[in-house]
Amino acid sequence: DAGVTQSPTHLIKTRGQQVTLRCSPKSGHDTVSWYQQALGQGPQFIFQYYEEEERQRGNFPDRFSGHQFPNYSSELNVNALLLGDSALYLCASSLDRRDNSPLHFGNGTRLTVT
């Protein structure tokens, strides 16, 4: 059991569409980070949410946006999908970004853009 749950597990979308991915953090965790893992690559940091605010952001365009809810769950939204957005999207949670709490990852959402 990963503790971090993501939905859906798989998703197929068409170019230009919008998608929303969801994440519930491990119980007791309050920080959520999102990563994109392209085939054959390591995960790339998209952004991190803490106290319902985006605290850090990687090199991703504004088409990628997110939200964190009061219960610490989070959503990742991608607008105007491109073929290159096809990847495994990973959610990771931790207790607090200030206390060196290691990340716990979910199983990911496999997004295919056609």
Partner 1 sequence: AQSVSQHNHHVILSEAASLELGCNYSYGGTVNLFWYVQYPGQHLQLLLKYFSGDPLVKGIKGFEAEFIKSKFSFNLRKPSVQWSDTAEYFCAVSRGSTLGRLYFGRGTQLTVWP
Q: Coil, helix or strand for 10?
A: strand
- Per-residue interface string for the shown chain with partner 1, residues 78-107, x marking contact by CB under 8 A: ------------x-x-x--xxxxxxxxxxx
Binding of partner 1 by 55 (CB under 8 A): yes
Binding of partner 1 by 2 (CB under 8 A): yes
Minimal distance, residue 16 CB to partner 1, in Å: 29
Interface residues for partner 1 in 16-35 (CB under 8 A)? Answer: 33, 35
Contacts of residue 55, Cβ cutoff 8 Å, sequence gap at least 6: 47, 48, 49, 97
Classify burial at 67, counting beta carbons within 10 Å of its beta carbon; exposed 0-12, middle 13-18, buried 19 or more: middle
| DSSP 8-state symbol, 41 | S
The residues that touch partner 1, with contacts defined as CB under 8 A, are: 2, 4, 33, 35, 40-45, 48, 55-56, 58, 90, 92, 94, 97-108
